[in-house]
Amino acid sequence: MLDFAHTTKEHDETRQGEALLIENNVSKGNGRKLYIESYGCQMNFSDSEIVASILLETGFETTKNYQEADVVFINTCSIRENAEQRVRNRLKEFEFAKKSNPGMIVGVLGCMAERLKAKFLEEEKLVDVVVGPDAYRDLPNLISQVDDGNRSVNVLLSREETYADISPVRLNSNGITAFISIMRGCDNMCSFCVVPFTRGRERSRDAASIVKEAHDLFNSGYREVTLLGQNVDSYKYTAPTIEGQEASTPVNFANLLALVAEVNPLLRVRFSTSHPKDITDEVLHTMASYDNICKYIHLPVQSGNSRVLELMNRTYDRDWYINRIDAINRIIPGCGISTDIITGFCTETEEEHQDTVSMMDYVKYDYAFMFAYSERPGTLAAKRYADDIPEEIKKSRLTEIVAKQRAHSFERLQQFVGKNQRVLIEGFSKRSDKDFAGRNDQNAMAIFPVDERYQAGDYVTVMIESCTSATLLGKIVD
């Protein structure tokens, strides 16, 4: 237990300090309108909520329309070249908007900002601010510099920053499902991946602040949280020891999952992303022992061939991955499994590609994110290996696995047809407000007619009558 009485005075002083800071900062926002658009992974979307929180504290308001914004931020992704190209195209549209709104400040946040740093300001004349993922606390100051007629950059990476004390402002939220960032950065150095360079070293967030965020979300009506990290299985946090007290016990990912699951049995817990080298049986047993930890694991395989996995520096081989899949199926029967796959990595032969295909047949993934290899400047693969697989071969291998995955997704969804599924209603379906949409435990999306007795945030039993390759269709049963 924390000793609150003991720390009250200290807290009062900090509060005053904060109040002063906020007063000074409020003039920076001055009711100006902020627009943020996010690309890439869930972590980026989660970061944008931290950015919004920091700027709302300083007197900004948010808007959903960039044409009426005073500050336009684009939170960017560098993972593949086409992700960066999409951002550049979007910046051109902002350039057009700036012509009729010359005072508009345009900022580039996230991985592309970190990768290109000040070079961005040379390349893209309309960009006023460049901010890396660990420098968001500096945003009010950077915006002030622009107000003073300068362009500003902060791309310092940190070994400590986790934004643990910042309550994210939920953007575009359905009010039911939310992300909680539990760690930042990545230490793995997969040879194809730019993330360790753009997001820096791995660090875990204070467990107590994570549990508090989950509590607060539950009390505000949220019913599902997704714990986010590049490699959640290596989460590890030890609270600083208070003088005169026993040393704190380290919290690993399995412990953290249990702590969050205990917030309330009605709060569903999901997480992403797991790493095949680090996912432990302890995590699997914890998942099995809590009804509210969803039975779904995203376990990127990248390739089904051991030689290619070695070149990718994934630090596991085909047998190890299969062993982890077998453990999941043994400890959590019926668990949903999804993956990431890259086709056409440096020197990949047709035979090695077929190992990926046979891995898909072995696991029968519920879902997969599939990509053609895209060389990223500065990565180990870019330095060590030639990007020697012709584009059309990368694409034809990709087409092959996409078709296979579509068949597997359909097959996996069919297992639910004729069965009752517990579904959390997330809101109306995208197509019609006559239907509700929500997911089952294994993350499959279900669509079913609205029943007036229920609303978003309720758990209902849905009888699944049919499915497409992406969606379950059914009706609520009592």
Q: Which residues are annotated binding-site positions? A: 41, 77, 111, 186, 190, 193
Is residue 205 within the footprint of ligand 5AD (CB under 6 A)?
no
Q: How many CB atoms lie within 10 A of CB 245?
A: 8
In this structure, the chain runs to a length of: 478
In whole angstroms, give the CA distance from residue 107 to residue 266: 39
CB nearer ligand SF4, residue 44 or residue 231? 231
Rule CB under 6 A: is residue 113 a binding residue for ligand SF4? no
For tokens 């059309």, the residue is 392
What's the min distance (Å) between Cβ of 22 and ligand 5AD?
37
**Per-residue tokens: 117:** 């740093």
- Work out the widest C-alpha separation in the chain, in whole angstroms: 68
Window 179-198: residues binding ligand 5AD (CB under 6 A): 192-193
Angstrom distance (rounded) from CA 203 to CA 352: 35
Q: Residue 340, interface with ligand 5AD (CB under 6 A)?
A: yes
Q: Is the peptide bond before 238 cis (omega within 30 degrees of 0)?
A: no
CB 349 within 8 A of CB 357: no
Between 82 and 455, name the residue whose CB sits nearer to ligand 5AD.
82
| Shortest distance (Å) from residue 345 CB to ligand 5AD | 8
Tell me the closest approach of the beta carbon of residue 36 to ligand SF4, in angstroms. Answer: 23
**Tokens standing for 272?**
């992403």
Choose, by CB under 6 A, the member of 218, 320, 371, 428 that binds ligand 5AD. 371
Binding-residue pattern over the window 404 to 443 for ligand 5AD, x denoting contact by CB under 6 A: ----------------------------------------
The site string for ligand SF4 over 237-276 (x = CB under 6 A, - otherwise) reads --------------------------------------x-
Q: What are phi and psi of 297, to 5 degrees?
A: -130, 130
Strand partners, 74: 37, 108
Residue 82's Cβ-side half-sphere holds a number of Cα atoms within 13 Å equal to 4
Q: Which of residues 165-194 bind ligand SF4 (CB under 6 A)?
A: 186, 188-190, 193
Q: Which residues contact 292 (CB under 8 A, 6 or more apart)?
A: 261, 264, 265, 266, 267, 268, 269
* Residue 63 contacts residue 35 (beta carbons within 8 Å): yes
Binding residues for [4Fe-4S] cluster, by number, are 41, 77, 111, 186, 190, 193
Stretch that binds ligand 5AD, among 125-133, 281-289, 369-377, 415-423 (CB under 6 A): 369-377
Q: Across the strands, what pairs with 474?
A: 464
Note whether 278 binds ligand 5AD by CB under 6 A: no
Q: If phi over 0 gives left and psi between -120 and 50 gives alpha, with beta otherwise, what is residue 332?
A: beta
Of all residues in the shown chain, the one whose CB is closest to ligand 5AD is: 340
Q: How many residues bind ligand SF4 (CB under 6 A)?
A: 10
Cα–Cα distance, 75 to 37 (Å, whole number): 6
Residue number with CB closer to ligand 5AD (235 or 345) = 345
Binding site for ligand SF4 (CB under 6 A): 186, 188-190, 193, 195-196, 230-231, 275
Binding site for ligand 5AD (CB under 6 A): 79-80, 192-193, 300, 302, 340, 342, 371, 373-374, 376
